[in-house]
Structure 1
Amino acid sequence: MSERIYGLLGRTLGHSWSVPIHAAAGNDAYRLIELEPRELPCFLSRPDIGGLNITIPYKRDVMSLCDVIDPAARDIGSVNTIVRRDGKLYAWNTDIIGFLYMADLAEVDLKDRKVVILGNGGTSLTAQAAARAAGAREIAVITRSGPDNYETLSRHADGEIVVNTTPVGMYPSNSEAAVDLTCFPACQGVLDVVYNPRRTALLLQAEALGLPCSDGLPMLVAQAMAAEELFFNRSIDSAETRRILALLRQKMENIVLIGMPGCGKSTVGAALAELTGREAVDLDAEIIKGAVKSIPTIFAEDGEPAFRALERDAAARFGAKSGKIIICGGGIVKDAENYGFLRQNGRIYQLYRAIEALPTAGRPLSQGADLAAMAAEREPLYHRFRDVGIDNNGSAADTAAAIWRDFCADSDSQRTEPEHAGREGTGDLRS
């Protein structure tokens, strides 16, 4: 396998998760191949090409350099998989397999629905073909300058499925969204091909509206498995696709800890770091490092609004990362904007501890405060943010183990729609 070239061909690939996906499928030779347009002909003439995936912006450009193109890929108008066989380059589009897998996993039904597709690049062509194959009633393609554009969305207010095929919302521009879903009052499902972050601003809005939705990671994994089958002329069981998807979900998502000051977030975070090998990031510690002063000093000299602004910046910066344990200050829920920052890549756990067991030393808002009243005031906010509540009146090790069990089970579940639509309910774990 190492004697031939396998990899993802594109122009800028720093955000890609393709290498770990193919490695999990046993292809250790797979790598990222960044080329400029002028380099494509020379590279694709190499006799040692084994198999390539093609991504933005080359899904259409490489077609003229291929010898044999699968009819379905030719109909779509773009390819994403190339294999050299008997000296010839054969091309397919496995993205359509991935797209339909993503929709099916999210229980987003395209049949007899009006599908509104954002963007007109190679992935848009795939989404259009998939929607036709699934029996969509009508397909509208929204572009920046065409007759159907973002200024004329009202023409398609009856859209029932919204699909984003643009890079809008992709890391590092996490807070951007291509459209406001309230423009589509009949919307019944949302698909976003972006997979970093896990939940784009578009998907966070879909969750808030209680709509079934999915990011693009299931599509990425499913198309990669279909490509692996073509690379090596083998069959891959669907269970293997789900295994690799769960593995990537677990690796990418953050564990976020919230709760009252003194409820044990730092101690549990340290126990989780020891248990999982993940880096634990304490947002308060990061604020202190950046401000070069203690939190009580920030409150005394600059006031609570200044501290909350620093906290918001820290939540935005670290919430955009992947695979971390994020330990939040007790008041982070007071700013609703922090929810999106933490939820975009994270599963959020609220820790509970008896009020009488909460320490107050070094905590500006806890000293001399009525903690019971503070807890009553903040509980609805914690409830709004959290995915799961967990009792931390026992040992930190037991709490960490309970969180990790839930986190792994959630990754395995492949749930793509909101766990509690509109965030009205919550789960509770007892350590």
Structure 2
Amino acid sequence: MKNLDESRKTLDQIDSQIVDLLENRMKISKEIGIYKLNNNLNTEDSSREDKIIKKLENKIDPEFKNSIRPIYSEIFSESKKIITKVKNENFKYGLIGEDLSHSKSKEIHELFEKYNYNLKNLKKSDVESFFENKNFLGINVTIPYKEISMKYLNEVDGLAKEIGAVNTIVNRAGKLIGYNTDYFGLDYSLNHYGINIKDKKVLILGSGGASKMVQKLAKDKGATSVIVISRSGENNYERLDKYKDYNILINTTPIGMYPYNMECKVDLARFQALESVIDLIYNPLNTKLILDAKRLGLKTMSGLLMLVVQAFFAGELFLDEKLDKSLIEKVYLNLKKDMQNIVFVGMPSAGKTTMAKLLSEKSNREFFDTDKLIEEREGKISEIFKNKGEKYFREVESKILKEVSKKTGVVIATGGGTPLKEVNRDLILQNSIVIYLDRDLKNLETEGRPLSKNLNNLKQMYEDRHKIYEDISHIRIKVIEDKEKNLEKILEEIKNYENFSN
């Protein structure tokens, strides 16, 4: 009996250790669930679970191998229940949509410093149960649920009812009430950008929930004509010439939105009476449509300010209280600053890589060097020029730039010839403050640089490129041959530009 008692005592000790470890495991699962929820990450990964089980089966004595799967399947099942509970407990305020991987709504709402806000990717098959459960206090709604959400509501605000779409839903003691704060976001933004719709002919691209809101506002503001362009139907993209005398064009479609940057279905040059172009997209900060409009000297408005304003008014509805309106500008400027890239252009060996790297360290931003990225994929630049020619190099350069320029909040050093192509200039300008480093020719290096082998080449290159660098840049820095002083000057000019441009 002594051996049996000792064995049982040992088992009790092991069981106690297992319970402690199991408790720790569940606590960590809960922490992971909260982290994934806050960062809009997938909380279920069955392939990872299977890998863990197989790994553990390989560690245990083969005699007991078959016990691993049922035990750990049950552990994973209980972990999922904990994560589901975490989701329900933490999703008091948030955004629902089909794909929210690039949404800025969490950042915006939490800058109001009034409540936690989370993102919830919702499958169409789960929409009904989500609204039946009512496990939230206030939510925003985006593509594709702005219209279909209405059928689950107990009440719809008069304005939202007229529009036929909601973007904000508040739970008042189990009663779901729908609103449309996009309307107020657009109205505020139009005033901010000095765009007047009264007595104008307005052309709207897209026919979804956002389009319905724009149609309502345009009519309320006194537009003389409002035409909606859709992919099919009488008013489509093939018949845009019918409306070339229209004054204001507003894009409500996702065409040109990240990750499909630079897509555009409209040639603005065809519109003879166009005054203003509005794009409700906010990522990128400047779509191809907006860049084309700026090139034509038209008034423009992107969607970032509207996004902040509609969130502000949604927050007031969530809390049933008035918020300080100064928050709008504060949040907008913070978000815009965080999203903008800083891109360096200039002659070969102007110091773009050096200064970009120093700036990235100083500002805690990720750093990318397009020439280095090219060499990582294709080998030395001098060898590319020698073996495959400049045309091939420029194609690779554009491909690399297309990838890296989609990022936000980073520092990018470009090659000397990168801005020569118009497509590259658009890629650079879509998200960036552009800094032109203008370094004295006598200080430029020529060794190992295929196109600037001597001073005569450099002088001609500078003549050919200087105007392009100037035209694309927001800031021009006459380079000082002192890195730290140069960095101070760059930081000062960025600050001045941000204050002026905002």
CA–CA separation in structure 2 for the residues paired with 1:112 and 1:124:
19
CA–CA separation in structure 2 for the residues paired with 1:310 and 1:334:
14
Task: Please point out which of 434, 437, 440 is paired with 1:348.
Answer: 434
SS at match of 1:91: strand
Question: Which residue identity lines up with residue 244 of structure 1 in the other structure?
Answer: V
Question: Which residue identity lines up with residue 193 of structure 2 in the other structure?
Answer: A
1:402/1:135 Cα in 2 relative to 1: closer, same or farther (>3 Å)? farther
Question: Are the aligned partners of 1:246 and 1:414 in contact in 2 as well (CA < 8 Å)?
Answer: no
- Residues 1:33 and 2:120 aligned together: yes
Equivalent position of 2:154 in the other structure: 67
The Cα of 1:369 is off from its aligned counterpart by 4.5
Task: Please point out which of 206, 220, 229 is paired with 2:293.
Answer: 206
CA–CA separation in structure 1 for the residues paired with 2:192 and 2:501:
8
Task: Please point out which of 375, 379, 385 is paired with 2:462.
Answer: 375
- Residues 1:363 and 2:453 aligned together: no
Task: Please point out which of 247, 265, 278 is paired with 1:160.
Answer: 247
- Residues 1:230 and 2:317 aligned together: yes
Task: Please point out which of 61, 85, 89 is paired with 2:176.
Answer: 89
Question: Which residue identity lines up with residue 305 of structure 1 in the other structure?
Answer: K
Task: Please point out which of 290, 294, 302 is paired with 2:380.
Answer: 294
Task: Please point out which of 424, 431, 434 is paired with 1:338.
Answer: 424
- Residues 1:149 and 2:236 aligned together: yes
CA–CA separation in structure 1 for the residues paired with 2:496 and 2:328:
17
Question: Are the aligned partners of 1:250 and 1:407 in contact in 2 as well (CA < 8 Å)?
Answer: no
Q: Which has the higher contact order (CA 8 A, sep 6+)?
A: 1
Structure 2: 5+ residue runs without aligned partners? Answer: 1-87
Equivalent position of 2:80 in the other structure: none
The Cα of 1:30 is off from its aligned counterpart by 0.8
SS at match of 1:309: helix
The Cα of 1:303 is off from its aligned counterpart by 1.5
Matching of residues 276-425 of structure 1 within 5 Å: 276-291=363-378, 293-370=379-456, 371-413=458-500, 415=502
CA–CA separation in structure 1 for the residues paired with 2:471 and 2:497:
19
Task: Please point out which of 329, 347, 352 is paired with 1:265.
Answer: 352
- Residues 1:113 and 2:200 aligned together: yes
Question: Are the aligned partners of 1:81 and 1:91 in contact in 2 as well (CA < 8 Å)?
Answer: yes
Instruction: Give deviations 1:233-282, integer Å, cap 9, x for gaps.
Output: 22222221011011111111110100111111111111101210001101
Question: Which residue identity lines up with residue 384 of structure 2 in the other structure?
Answer: I
Matching of residues 219-258 of structure 1 within 5 Å: 219-258=306-345
Equivalent position of 1:192 in the other structure: 279
Identical columns (%): 37
Which shifted more, 247-256 or 40-49? 40-49
Structure 1: 5+ residue runs without aligned partners? Answer: 416-431
1:82/1:146 Cα in 2 relative to 1: closer, same or farther (>3 Å)? same
Instruction: Give deviations 1:81-126, integer Å, cap 9, x for gaps.
Output: 0010122001100000111122222221111111100000000001
1:305/1:111 Cα in 2 relative to 1: closer, same or farther (>3 Å)? same
Question: Which residue identity lines up with residue 318 of structure 2 in the other structure?
Answer: F
Which shifted more, 270-279 or 329-338? 329-338
The structure that is helix-richer by fraction is: 2
Aligned residue-pair number: 414
Equivalent position of 2:361 in the other structure: 274
SS at match of 1:103: helix
The Cα of 1:320 is off from its aligned counterpart by 1.2
1:394/1:10 Cα in 2 relative to 1: closer, same or farther (>3 Å)? same
Question: Which aligned segments of 4 or more residues in structure 1 are displaced greater than 6 angstroms?
Answer: none
Question: Which residue identity lines up with residue 363 of structure 1 in the other structure?
Answer: R
SS at match of 1:307: helix
Question: Are the aligned partners of 2:93 and 2:115 in contact in 1 as well (CA < 8 Å)?
Answer: no
- Residues 1:46 and 2:133 aligned together: yes
Question: Which residue identity lines up with residue 127 of structure 1 in the other structure?
Answer: V
Asked which structure has the greater CA Rg, the reply is 2
Which shifted more, 136-145 or 25-34? 25-34
Question: Are the aligned partners of 1:192 and 1:215 in contact in 2 as well (CA < 8 Å)?
Answer: yes
CA–CA separation in structure 1 for the residues paired with 2:186 and 2:222:
14
The Cα of 1:225 is off from its aligned counterpart by 0.5
Question: Which residue identity lines up with residue 418 of structure 2 in the other structure?
Answer: I
SS at match of 2:196: coil
The Cα of 1:157 is off from its aligned counterpart by 1.1
CA–CA separation in structure 2 for the residues paired with 1:215 and 1:358:
39
Which shifted more, 22-31 or 252-261? 22-31
CA–CA separation in structure 1 for the residues paired with 2:334 and 2:488:
18
CA–CA separation in structure 1 for the residues paired with 2:485 and 2:117:
39
The Cα of 1:406 is off from its aligned counterpart by 3.6
Question: Are the aligned partners of 2:91 and 2:118 in contact in 1 as well (CA < 8 Å)?
Answer: no
Equivalent position of 1:423 in the other structure: none
The Cα of 1:312 is off from its aligned counterpart by 1.1
The Cα of 1:368 is off from its aligned counterpart by 2.5
CA–CA separation in structure 1 for the residues paired with 2:501 and 2:474:
15
